[in-house]
Structure 1
Amino acid sequence: MATKFRDRLPAKSLKSDTSIWTVLKTCVGKDLSKITMPVKFNEPLSFLQRIAESLEYSELLSEANLSRTQNPIDRLEVVGAFAVSGLASNWNRLGKPFNPLLHETYELATDDYKLVCEQVSHHPPISAFHAESSEFVFQGWIQPKLKLWGKSVEIHPKGSMKLYLKRFNETYTWSNVNCTVHNVIVGKLWIEHHGTMEITCAESSLKLAVHFKPAGWFNNELHRMEGFVVDNKKNKLRFLYGKWTDFLRSTDIESYEEYIKTNAHKFKLGLGDSAAATDAKKSPSVSPSPSRKMFQKFNSLSIRSFSTSVDTGEGSDDLSPENQEDVIPKSDGEVMDIANSITLWEAITRPDYAPDYYHFTLFAMGLNQALPDVPYPSTDSRLRPDIRNLETGEIDLAHEEKTRLEDKQRKLLKHNKEDVKPNYFEKNGDDWHFLNNYWDHPKALIKNLFD
C-alpha cells in the first residue's frame, strides 16, 4: 500500500519582523553561500530536500516511455516539460533552505523511484544526487552561488543535470536557469527565473532551448517562457510556450506562424512574446512602421532602466527604495493561445493554506517527514535538529542547533582536512558520479553527523 504523506507541517511558518536587508546590507557583491543567515529567514528543509522537488512530476518520465513518444521530438518535449516542472515549486518560496553539512544525505524512496543526495563539498558547496527507476536514471550536481546586487539577490545554480531513458538508450543534459529575488531592501519579496535552458540529446542531435523571460517594464512577461525544438541544422520543428509556474504547451511551427500573422497588431504595440515578435519583424506582412520602431526603441530602453534599478540599485527616482514598497508584479498579461497546442505539463494547484506553511506544495510538505520503520542513516536531513525545531515552530532552539552544528563542522574541517571524501559519490572530471553503494551500505556504521 502506498505511503500517505502528511499534507501540513507540524507548525505554521513564523512571521519575521526583521528585514532581510539588515543582514545583507554589508554583503553587496559577496558570495552569500559563505554568509551565516539567521534561522528566521530559513524554511524547514535542507537544500538536499529542495533537490528532491525536481522529481515532483516524475510521472512525466514514465510518459516519455509510452508508445506515443516513439518520435524523438515528442520525447524531447516531454523531457523539457520535466526539466521545467522542477522549477515550479520555487514560486513564492522565499525562505532560504538550510545549507547541508558536509556528508549530509537525503533519501527518498517511492513506488516509482529511489533518490539519494549527498553534500559532497563544503567550500564550494556542492550537492550531488542520483535517482533511478525501471525507466530512467536522473543524476547531477548543483553548486548554488548567491550574490547581492543592490535591491536583488541573484542565484546562479552552476551544475549539470543528466537524464538517461533506458528504453530508448538516450541521454539528455541541461543546466538550470538563474533566479532573482527582488525587493530585499524595501517591499514585498518576489521571485523570477530568467535565462535560457538548453536541453540536448546526443543520440538524436535535437535541442530544445527554452527562454525564461524577465518580467519586463509592465510585468506583462512575468513567469513566461518560450522556445523551439531544433535539429542539428537549426531547423525549427516545434514551438513551446507557457509559464514556469503553471504549464508548458507545444504546437507545430505552421500554427505558430499563423498565430504571428493573426496577432500582428499585438506585436505592433510590443505586446507579443519575444520569439513571435522577432519572427514578426522578419515577416513582410507585419513589417514595423516608423512609429512602431520608435515605440520598440523606447520600450527596450525602459526595460534596461528597470533592470538596472532592480539589479544594481541605480536608476530612476520612481524606483528608489522609498517608492519600492509596491513594486511587485500584479499582472502577467494575456497568455498566448495557439491553435493545435497540446499541454505537456500542468502544475498541481497548491492548497489554499500553503501561505501559512512557507508556501510549500503538497509534495514539499512530506519531504521532512520521518516515516516509521525506515532505517534512515544518521546523516539524513530529516534527523537535523535545527530543521526539525524550525518545523515545529521552536525558532530559538532551531537557532541554537544551527549555530552548534555549523561550529562543529568548522572545527572538524579545521582539524581533519583530509576527511572530506564523500561516502556515496566520487568526482570524475567536472561531474560527480554515484558509487551505487548507498542502499546496501551498513548505515548504522555511519558516524552521527548531528550529535
Structure 2
Amino acid sequence: MGYAIKQVKGESLKRKGGVVLTAPLPLDGNESDSDYRTPSIIQRILGLLATVKPGSDLTRLRLPPQFNIPKSQLQVYGESVYCVSTDVLSKCTKEETPLGRLVCVVAWFLSMYRPLPFGVAPYNPLLGETHHVSVGSLNVLVEQVSHHPPVSALHASDDKHNIEMIWCQSPIPKFCGSCIETEVVGKRHLKLLDKHETYIMNSPKLVIRFFPFSSVEWIGNVTIRCQETDLEAQLCYRGNSFWPRPSLHRSIKGKIVRSSTSHMIYEIYGHWDRSVMVKDAATGQQTTIYNAKEVLSELKTPIVMDPAAICRSESSLVWSEVSRAILEKKWDKARECKSEIEERQREIARERQLKEEQWLPKYFRVFHSQESGWDCVPKNNIVAPAPIVVND
C-alpha cells in the first residue's frame, strides 16, 4: 500500500517547530494565491506537463513545492466538513419532515465544495498520516489508509446532534491533454442517528483546464439518496465548455424525486458559489436553500488547544517544515524538506517489504473489491475531541 509515517520515540514536537495551520480555502479560490504562489505559474505548469503523456495516471507524479499549497489533501478534506461560518449540518436534524431533511442535506453537501486556486495543489498524504480537528460538538478524523492508490478515510461524529459521517474515497487524476480530470471514487455516508436515516452520496469530478483558458471546476453528476425515506436528490455540476459562459460557470441544476417512482418534487437550480434555489413542482413556489457567502465567508483558521496531545501523524505536524518554507517563499528549503520526507517514507516501505510486514490503518478497517470499490468501517464508534479546534 505504500509508505507509512515512522514513529520516533522521544522526539520532541518543538524540535520540528510545532504544527503549521494555514487559513482554510476561501469562497473566492484566488484570494489567497499571493500567500504562496510562485511567479510564472503557467510557464512552470506547461513545463511540468510536457513530461507527461495524455492518459497518464498522475497519482505518482511528484510535484515540486512550488506547485503545493501549504497543507495536505487530508486537511482539505477535513476543512470541507469543519470550516464553515454557518452551521448547516446540525440543521439537517432539526427539520421535522424527511423531505425537509433531504433539502438540508443538499444544502450541506453544497457547502463542502469550494473554488480551488489554479496551478497549485495540496501535498499527497503519507500512508498513516492523520488529521484530527474539532469544532463545537463535531469531531472530525481523517486517515490516509492507502498510498498507491491514494485512499483517504474520514470519520466524524457529533453526539449533541446525533450525526455521524463515514467516507472512504480515492482521487484518480488523469492528464487529458488540455486538462486534468480527477474522478473521486468512493461514497460518503451521512447518518442522522435519531432519525434512523442514512444519506449516501458521491462526488463530482475536479477538472483543471489549461486551454483555451485556465480554470478549476467541479463537474459531473451527483446522487444523494436516503433509502429509508425513498427520497433522492439528483444534481449536475456544470462548467464552461470551450468558451466561457457566465450562466454555466459554477452552475448547478437538478431535482428531488421519489426514488421508487422518479416523481419530481422539487427542481434545483443556481450557482454553487453564490446561491441555490428549489422550486416546488406542484405550486411553483421558489425558496433559497443555500447562500454561499453566508456559509463560507470569514472562515476561521484552526488553532492548537493542546500541543502535548498532537499525534505524530498529524498532517499539520508532518508537513510543518515544508509549509513554513513555502509560506516564507524559501523554495530551496521547501524542496529539501519535502525530499527528506519522501525519501524517509521510501526507506520505511523498503524495510517493511524486506520484513514482509503488512501495514494496517490505525483508525479504520478497510475493504476493497472490484465490484464495490473501496469501503471502510471505523474502529471506534465515536471520534474523540481533538487537540486542534476551530472556535465556533
TM-score interval (norm. to shorter): 0.7 to 0.9
> Any conservation in 2 of the 1:54–1:85 contact (CA below 8 Å)?
yes
- Residues 76 and 440 (structure 1), Cα distance of their counterparts in 2 relative to 1, 3 Å cut: closer
Q: Is the 8 A contact 1:209 1:227 kept in 2?
A: yes
Give the corresponding residue for 1:276: none
Range moving further from structure 2, 116-125 or 373-382: 373-382
Residues 44-443 of structure 1 mapped to structure 2, 5 A cutoff:
44-55=70-81, 56-57=83-84, 59-66=87-94, 69-87=95-113, 89-92=114-117, 94-134=119-159, 135=161, 136-183=163-210, 189-216=214-241, 217=243, 219=245, 220-231=247-258, 232-254=260-282, 256=284, 340-348=285-293, 362-363=298-299, 366-367=301-302, 369-371=303-305, 373=307, 375-383=309-317, 384=319, 385-417=321-353, 418-428=357-367, 430-436=374-380
- Separation in 1 of the partners of 2:304 and 2:381? 22
Q: Which has the higher contact order (CA 8 A, sep 6+)?
A: 2
Q: CA deviation at 1:223?
A: 1.0
Provide the C-alpha distance between the structure 1 equivalents of 2:235 and 2:251, rounded to a whole number of angstroms: 10
Query: Deviation at 1:125?
Result: 0.7
Larger Rg, first or second structure (1 or 2)? 1
Please tell me whether residue 42 in structure 1 is matched to residue 65 in structure 2: no
**Cα RMSD between the aligned structures?**
2.7
TM-score, L = length of structure 1 = 0.69
Gaps of 5+ in 2: 1-20, 25-31, 369-373, 388-392
- Higher strand content, 1 or 2: 2
Separation in 2 of the partners of 1:395 and 1:63?
44
- Work out whether residues 16 and 40 of structure 1, in 8 Å CA contact, stay in contact via their aligned partners in 2: no
Aligned pair in 2 of structure 1 residues 125, 79: CA closer, same or farther (>3 Å)? Answer: same
2:267 partner letter: F
In 1: Cα distance, 2:215 partner to 2:106 partner? 25
TM-fit CA distance, 1:415: 2.1
Residue pair 2:87, 2:295 contacting (<8 A) in 1 also = no
Cα displacement (A) at 1:428: 3.8
Name stretches of at least 5 consecutive residues in structure 1 with no aligned partner: 257-339, 352-360, 444-451
Counterpart code for 2:360: K
| Counterparts of 2:235 and 2:47, CA distance in 1 | 36
Write the distance in 2 (CA, Å) between the matches of 1:94 and 1:6. Answer: 18
Distance across 2 between alignment mates of 1:387 and 1:438: 30
Once residues 215 and 48 of structure 2 are traced to their aligned partners in structure 1, the CA distance between those partners, rounded to angstroms, is 18
Change in CA separation of 1:348 and 1:218 when aligned onto 2, cut-off 3 Å: closer
Q: How many percent identity over aligned positions? A: 25
For the 8 Å contact 2:69–2:122, the answer to whether it is kept is: yes
Tell me the CA shift for residue 347 of structure 1: 1.3
- Deviation at residue 72 of structure 1 after TM alignment: 0.9
TM-fit CA distance, 1:91: 4.1
Alpha carbons of 1:44 and 1:146: their partners in 2 closer, same or farther (altered >3 Å)? same
- SS across alignment from 1:120: strand
How far apart are residue 349 of structure 1 and its match?
6.8
Find the aligned partners of 1:372 and 1:393 in 2 and give their Cα distance: 29
Q: How many residues align?
A: 338
- TM-superposed CA distance for 1:39, in Å, is 0.8
Q: 1:437 to 1:389 in 2, by over 3 A?
A: farther
Contact 1:162 1:174 survives alignment (8 Å) = yes
Greater displacement, 235-244 / 432-441: 432-441
Deviation for aligned residue 1:213: 1.9
CA gap of 1:142–1:388, structure 2 versus 1, over 3 A, is farther
CA deviations over 1:150-199 (Å, ceiling 9, x no partner): 1111111111110000221100001101121111xx67521122111000
Q: What is the rounded CA distance, in whole Å, between the counterparts of 1:440 and 1:85 in structure 2?
A: 24
Deviations 1:50-92 (A, max 9, x none): 10122134722211122xx2121111111111112111x2344
Distance 2:337 2:107 in 1: 39
Residues in 2 aligned to 1:189 and 1:371: alpha-carbon distance in whole angstroms:
40
- Residue type of the alignment partner of 1:96: A
SS in 2 for 1:230: strand
2:127 partner amino acid: L
Q: TM-score normalized by structure 2? A: 0.79
Q: Is the 8 A contact 1:424 1:437 kept in 2?
A: no
Shift of 1:138: 1.1
